[in-house]
Chains A and B, each alone.
Chain A
Amino acid sequence: MGEALLSGLMQVLEPGTFVLMLLGVAIGFVVGILPGLGGPVTLALMLPFTFSMEPIEAFAFLLGMLVVTATTGDITSVLFGIPGEATSAAAALDGYPMTRRGESGRALGAVLFSSALGSLFGAAILALSIPVVRPVVLALSAPEFFALTLLGLTFVVTLSGSQVLKGFLMAAFGLFVALVGIDPQEGVPRYTFDQLYLWDGIGLIPLVIGLFGGAELLQLMLSKKSIAGGTDGVPAKVSGVGEGIRNTLTHWRVVLRASSIGALVGLIPGLGGSVAQFIAYGHARQASKNPEMFGKGAIDGVIASGANNNAKDGASLIPTIAFGIPGGASTAVLLSAFLIVGLNPGPEMLTTHLDVTFSMVWVVIIANAIAVAVAFMFLRPLTHLSFISGPLLVPFLLLLLGLGSYSSSNSFGDVFVMLGAAAIGVACLRWDWPRVPFLLAVVLGGIAERYLFLSYSLFGWSWLTRPIVLAVGALVLLVLLQPLVRRFRAAKKAPDQQKVGP
């Protein structure tokens, strides 16, 4: 195994392969920064160029591109509040308020450094799991996946702040939005208003762009200030980057937990990074000493998002490599690259082609390290963007919103979805309704329905008694009951304090 690990590294470092990886990194860097033009779309566009490549060259190029989009997508989230990728939405929740406070350097330092650590973690999980992955993934079936999806939904409680009931209402609304489209069981069009566009359901990318980016853009137009509007102009130098890095190191537990969540969710096919980021964010909030700061610029929220986003990429390769089961859209496209270069996912990748598998581990590590280093080099100009007068940025940001939403499926329907989501985002901010539970429910709604039906079709109602389902069910109850317990404790403490007091 050690020999294969070394052989994988040497092959990645071969000049031809390395140059291809650098090319992939450069493309991924730009694509990640541009909202809407996601990793899967770019992977699909670049796939034809891999026909004549050797397996390791092809994966260095494609994987190098894919893992970097997650890192640089966070930069746009932090600087403009517009997620560069659907999986970077959580980074906007606290990164953007920090930018508005004039702490963009610190936020970028934290998100980039935690990204680097997260990718290391994900790559390590990928490398270490190779011998043990088979029995673990085979132990899970549709009922367990459904239970895990429900667990993800219960994070509405922690993501709603003090507005839990509103959070549940927004989650129900999100689940309703997820229902729009052709029913996967019987092909019945649901809530589609006879519109062909809606048969495919509501696109996640335009929804995310509108919900977060649209609302922030309008805010910029109304306030007519720079993004860092509350601060005293452009700083002489980018300050706070070192502090952001130090913050990441002091919050090593957050990095570790968020990376673990990212790796675990990445490992489960079908859940994907959009889910992982909010579970990690919700958990970071739950574990934080200052949960009230979340959504207003909490550094641990930024760190959790960065670490999680990158850890999931390495782990999501595990089911793809070992079983040919793609974890999400990106790995589904990557799976086709296996076939193009003449490889079969499965046991072969863990035996005869182990060096190719390990070369992927190295690509994840090296590509992310290069992307983070380049991003740090360009931090000053990137950070200065947040001090440019807001109205000057409006045409550029409007263009990003329009193109970002349109290019996800080349349809004006997506632009309308983005505008609708922007209206919801504005209403949420204006009247203090939480946005994140809505998005989490949209992401999880379709997955939950699919696994529920699979569970019932395969096991009847007996799936409810499976041990892992029961264990996850208990965890769900625990999360749901937590606010009640907290309130009970607070109520119990109050009379005690009154007794002690004067």
Chain B
Amino acid sequence: MKPESSQSARAWPVADLVITAALIALFTWALSSSMEWSVRAALFPRLVTTFGLAIALLHLVLLLVRRRSGTSADAGHGLVPISDPEDDPLDYAFSTAGRRAWTVSLAWIAAFFVGLYVLGVLVTAPLFTLAYLRLTVRASWRLSVAYAAVIGVLLYVVFELLLTVPTPDGVLF
């Protein structure tokens, strides 16, 4: 999915502008920070950030100029052939999902990682599995409990007993 490709020729490529501006700010800050270091420590960072800043400024200028002519910033400056790949038939859900779907999905992810930090993985993983399957997938109690149990046992047997790899302990456990 290429959201920009479907926009009218003179619409502002807002996302590209915001990302480019953010990178300009980042490289400017990084370059100014490197001024406080000795030459040996700062040489490579200065090279990298100057290069990044130059490319970002060029991209910004091209975004603004190309907007007037209705082409992409990457097209027509001699770096690439002017061709946009066909839209991916598989498509990505990011541009089509609604605000509610985004909020719910991000909330579940946040819940998992907050749980990981507070309760540890051995408690969070089965609990999360049970809650997610019941509330989002609307799975049966039998499947949800079985899945949660398998996750818990697998986690304990593989990581704790067989591989003896340290797993995240929570703040509480």
Contacts and interface: CB of A to CB of B under 8 A. Distances in A.
A483 B158 CA distance: 50
Contacts of B147: 392, 395
Contacts of B94: 218-219, 222, 426, 429-430
Contacts of A100: 90
Interface string B125-167: 1001100110011010000000100010001001100011111
**Number of contact residues on B: which range applies?**
35 or more
B49 to A, nearest CB: 7
A395 B93 contact: no
B151 A396 contact: yes
A391 interface: yes
Given A186-B41, A191-B30, A395-B129, A162 B83 contact: yes
Interface in A398-427: 398-399, 402-403, 406-407, 410, 412, 415, 419, 426-427
B68 interface: no
Contact of B121 (A30, A163, A399): A399
Contacts of B44: 179, 448-449, 452-453
Contacts of A429: 92, 94
A173 interface: yes
B33 A161 contact: no
A200 interface: no
B161 to A, nearest CB: 13
A165 B85 contact: no
Contacts of B159: 403, 407
Contacts of B119: none
B87 to A, nearest CB: 10
Contacts of B62: 165
A100 B155 CA distance: 28
A433 interface: yes
Interface in B4-49: 4, 15-16, 19-20, 23, 26-27, 30, 33-34, 37-38, 40-41, 44-45, 48-49
A242 B121 CA distance: 40
B15 A172 contact: no
Chief secondary structure at chain B's binding surface: helix
A292 B116 CA distance: 41
A45 B117 CA distance: 25
A394 B136 CA distance: 11
B52 interface: yes
A175 interface: yes
A41 B164 CA distance: 12
A165 B55 contact: yes
A219 B52 contact: no
A222 B105 contact: yes
A496 interface: no
Given A395-B147, A419-B113, 13 more contacts: A37-B163, A100-B90, A101-B89, A162-B80, A162-B85, A176-B52, A190-B45, A191-B33, A292-B85, A296-B85, A391-B137, A392-B139, A483-B78
21 contacts: A162-B84, A163-B74, A163-B80, A179-B30, A183-B41, A221-B105, A223-B93, A391-B133, A391-B136, A392-B139, A395-B151, A399-B155, A427-B19, A429-B92, A430-B92, A430-B94, A432-B4, A449-B44, A453-B40, A486-B81, A487-B80
Closest 7 CB pairs of A and B: A172-B52, A395-B129, A223-B93, A222-B93, A222-B97, A431-B15, A221-B105
Interface of B: 2-4, 15-16, 19-20, 23, 26-27, 30, 33-34, 37-38, 40-41, 44-45, 48-49, 51-52, 55-56, 58-59, 62, 73-75, 77-81, 83-86, 88-90, 92-95, 97, 101-102, 105-106, 108-109, 112-113, 116-117, 121, 125, 128-129, 132-133, 136-137, 139, 147, 151, 155, 158-159, 163-168
